[in-house]
């Protein structure tokens, strides 16, 4: 990170282009007659609600409120249509197709590779260590020139573990490209696990979080990237002008103004996680329940694929990860409600008896 130069990482076309300037970008101040954006001035075709106006392209009130909760500056927050949008945009901002590379660390979240493929970005893969920790030495030895981004998922999907902070710091200090730390599940991990506060210390760090998990708002599609302003400005420059819709902004604001509800749900899910772990341990064919800091378990079980299919016949869907590197015969099981977890265990006991 010693020689970090953000402008040198940005694709030249992105650096040089002028962004689209929307009607709502250009107007600032007080007005009550809006004839600037070719909206329907009368109203909306819904039974109730007014959606005829374009949403705030910068999501300013929401950014201000979230910044307070996260202890960072509003200018350090990017909102996307899910964090999947932020993942896509960093390829478009930084990776010249067919030239620049990214490094991913399987087993991990599948969208990094999918977005790389869509953006014609070559992907290098270095497997995590067998205990799912970061292979820091192998990364340092095997990384290729032109690697612009390293994706670290912590807690990692599908394994559930947090990455050791010291390992992430080592990579942040060593790498002159961008280190993305995807913290989609961070609210289920112990306090102090997040790297969000570190963005002020590391200009090469981008932290991603989402409203899809702990906040219970997957249907709204709202994800965040946190980084120093210069990096956030680049994502904002290339995003769709109105990428976060009005309903999403309103409902997310409702949630952010009352974070206690999220905290209560997290507490309940964590207590269910403990219960589920105890119960899974009683199933004879379960050989390993991997430690988790997320709202799911990776579970090694005999005949995982058969169990997966039988559970589907009973109306229970889990994720079969058996074909994923280092996840031999393993299922990824989300912590459900008390009732759902009981039903799952009941069925697993019957199937494996």
Ligand X SMILES: Cc1ncc(COP(=O)(O)O)c(C=O)c1O
Of 12-20, 78-86, 118-126, 340-348: span binding ligand X (CB under 6 A): 78-86
Output 84 or 100, the one with its CB closest to ligand X: 84
If phi > 0 it is left, if psi is from -120 to 50 it is alpha, else beta; for residue 51 that is: alpha
Q: Find the residue with minimal CB distance to ligand X.
A: 82
CA angle 262, 265, 269 (to 5 degrees): 135
Output 228 or 248, the one with its CB closest to ligand X: 248
187 binds ligand X (CB under 6 A): no
Of 18-26, 27-35, 81-89, 243-251: span binding ligand X (CB under 6 A): 81-89
Q: Tell the smallest beta-carbon distance from residue 294 to ligand X (Å).
A: 8
CA angle 236, 237, 240 (to 5 degrees): 70
212 binds ligand X (CB under 6 A): yes
Please pick, from the candidates 210, 292, 320, 330, the single residue that binds ligand X as defined by CB under 6 A: 210
Output 154 or 228, the one with its CB closest to ligand X: 154
111-118 and 83-94 helices cross at what angle (nearest 10)? 40
Output 153 or 172, the one with its CB closest to ligand X: 153
Output 37 or 325, the one with its CB closest to ligand X: 325
349 binds ligand X (CB under 6 A): no
Please pick, from the candidates 10, 58, 77, 83, the single residue that binds ligand X as defined by CB under 6 A: 83
Question: How many residues bind ligand X, per CB under 6 A?
Answer: 12
CA pair distance 111, 89, nearest whole angstrom: 12
Q: Tell the smallest beta-carbon distance from residue 158 to ligand X (Å).
A: 8
317 binds ligand X (CB under 6 A): no
Output 184 or 227, the one with its CB closest to ligand X: 184
CA quadruple 5, 242, 119, 181: dihedral positive or negative?
Answer: positive
Q: Which of residues 215-254 bind ligand X (CB under 6 A)?
A: 218, 223
153 binds ligand X (CB under 6 A): yes
Output 83 or 272, the one with its CB closest to ligand X: 83
Output 153 or 171, the one with its CB closest to ligand X: 153
One DSSP character per residue, 100-126 reads SEEEE-SSS-THHHHHHHHTT--EEE-
What's the chain's length in residues? Answer: 353
Under 8 Å between Cβ of 60 and 28? no
One DSSP character per residue, 280-306 reads HTT-TTEEEE---SSSEEEEEETTHHH
182 binds ligand X (CB under 6 A): yes
CA pair distance 328, 13, nearest whole angstrom: 43
Token pair listed for 113: 């590779």
Of 21-29, 76-84, 141-149, 337-345: span binding ligand X (CB under 6 A): 76-84
Which H or E element spans position 94?
helix 83-94
157 binds ligand X (CB under 6 A): yes
109 binds ligand X (CB under 6 A): yes
107 binds ligand X (CB under 6 A): no
Output 188 or 202, the one with its CB closest to ligand X: 188
Long-range CB contacts (within 8 A, 24+) of 251-257: 251/217, 251/220, 252/62, 252/211, 252/215, 252/217, 252/220, 252/222, 253/61, 253/62, 253/65, 255/211, 255/215, 255/217, 256/62, 256/65, 256/66, 256/69, 257/65
160 binds ligand X (CB under 6 A): no
CA pair distance 185, 211, nearest whole angstrom: 10
Which residue ranges make up the site for ligand X (CB under 6 A)? 82-84, 109, 153, 157, 182, 184, 210, 212, 218, 223
């Amino acid at each position: 990170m010693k020689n970090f130069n953000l402008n040198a990482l940005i694709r030249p076309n992105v650096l040089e282009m002028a962004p689209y300037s929307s009607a709502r970008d250009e107007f600032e101040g007080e007005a009550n007659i809006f004839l600037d954006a070719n909206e329907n001035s009368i109203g909306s075709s819904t039974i109730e609600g007014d959606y005829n106006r374009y949403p705030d392209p910068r999501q300013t009130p929401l950014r201000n409120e979230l910044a307070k909760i996260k202890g960072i500056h509003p200018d350090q927050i990017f909102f996307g249509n899910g964090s999947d949008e932020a993942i896509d945009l960093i390829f478009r901002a930084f990776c010249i197709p067919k030239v620049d590379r990214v490094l991913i660390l399987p087993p991990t979240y599948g969208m990094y590779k999918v977005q790389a493929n869509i953006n014609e970005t070559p992907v290098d893969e270095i497997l995590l260590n067998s205990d799912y920790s970061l292979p820091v030495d192998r990364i340092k030895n095997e990384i290729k020139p032109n690697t612009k981004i390293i994706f670290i998922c912590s807690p990692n999907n599908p394994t559930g573990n947090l990455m050791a902070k010291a390992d992430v710091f080592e990579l942040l200090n060593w790498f002159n490209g961008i280190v993305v730390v995807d913290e989609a599940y961070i609210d289920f991990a112990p306090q102090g696990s997040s790297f969000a506060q570190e963005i002020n210390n590391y200009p090469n760090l981008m932290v991603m979080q989402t409203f899809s998990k702990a906040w219970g708002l997957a249907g709204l599609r709202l994800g965040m990237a946190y980084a120093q302003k210069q990096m956030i400005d680049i994502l904002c420059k290339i995003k769709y002008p109105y990428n976060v819709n009005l309903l999403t902004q309103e409902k997310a604001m409702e949630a952010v103004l009352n974070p206690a509800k999220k905290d209560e749900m997290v507490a309940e899910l964590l207590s269910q996680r403990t219960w589920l772990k105890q119960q899974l341990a009683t199933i004879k064919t379960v050989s390993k329940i991997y430690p988790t800091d997320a709202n799911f378990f990776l579970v090694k079980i005999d005949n995982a694929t058969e169990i997966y299919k039988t559970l589907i016949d009973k109306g229970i869907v889990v994720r079969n990860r058996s074909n994923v590197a280092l996840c031999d015969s393993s299922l990824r099981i989300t912590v459900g409600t008390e009732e759902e977890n009981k039903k799952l265990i009941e069925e697993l006991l019957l199937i494996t008896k």
